[in-house]
Amino acid sequence: MREIVRVIRNLAESLWTNTLFFDREIACEPGQFMMVWLPRLGEKPFTLSYPNGITVKRAGRFTEALTSLGPGDTLGLRGPLGRGYPLLERPALVGGGVGIAELRLLALRSDSPTFILGGRTAEEILYFDEFQSLGPVKVATEDGSLGEKGLVTDLLPVDAGSYAVCGPERMMVACRSILPDDRTHYAIERYMKCAVGLCGQCTCSGQRVCVDGPIFPGKMLESMPDFGHRRRSKSGRWEKI
């Protein structure tokens, strides 16, 4: 059931990323998502970065409209939906680009987290100061503007009890070649329509990302050859990743 909420703050995190705060908190597990609705533009999935907020990177017509909302504007929310992260022991949280936003709630609910973050530039490293107050932070940026110059995989492996990985799929595939499948969870992103497991739009090797995920254990990816290779486009056609 969709609920209409009111925006109370629009915080610019970077030149292309904003966090929208709304007037109610959502009880959810870290990693679960909401379907966000805008009139005449439809719905898209976003993971909560705050109990009452989502962090959005501008990448098209929908996100341009969403990030332009201000206090008093309204939007629709449906959820929380999907499966979130389990309780992770002494986790290393590995994030790339806007995927870092998904890890914020998980970090706040984790014991002794370590952060491994990557992006093209320093501006893509979200919550850097906040994460430093929670645990050790290692950063890699492609232009060397923060941390080491290079990719997030250049910072791996690290010692941890468990791992959570969220970011571009190619990045996650590269991380999987380094991290132990039996102690790692991955956040898979696919184009969603119904978000309740009926339409099959978000399938990944037979797994419906909207209800069977979006968080998947690494061991499960052994039987999901679509991961890192193909996904359905908005039109429903298969495309390479």
Q: What's the pLDDT tens digit per position in 40-75?
A: 999 999 999 999 999 999 999 999 999 999 999 999
The dotted CATH code for 91-235 is 3.40.50.80
Contact assessment for residue 27 and residue 77, using Cβ atoms and an 8 Å cutoff: no
DSSP string, 155-216: G-----SEEEEES-HHHHHHHHTTS-GGGEEEE-----SSSSSSS-TTEETTEEHHHH-BEE
- Express each pLDDT in 181-233 by its tens digit: 999 999 999 999 999 999 999 999 999 999 999 999 999 999 999 999 999 99
Q: What's the rounded mean pLDDT across residues 124-148?
A: 97
3-80 has CATH 2.40.30.10 classification: yes
Q: What residues are paired with 18 via a beta bridge?
A: 12, 56
Residue pLDDT, tens place only, 19-31: 999 999 999 999 9
The dihedrals phi and psi of 162, each to the nearest 5 degrees, come to: -155, 170
Q: How far apart are CA 166 and CA 57, in angstroms?
A: 15
Q: What is the mean pLDDT of the chain?
A: 96
Q: Where are the alpha helices (DSSP H) in the chain?
A: 61-67, 103-108, 128-132, 169-176, 209-212
In the chain, where the domains are located: 3-80, 91-235
Q: Is the pLDDT of residue 159 over 80?
A: yes
Per-residue pLDDT reduced to its tens digit, 165-186? 999 999 999 999 999 999 999 9
Q: Which pLDDT value is given to residue 3?
A: 94
**79 band by pLDDT with thresholds 50, 70 and 90:** very high
Query: What is the pLDDT at residue 2?
Result: 86
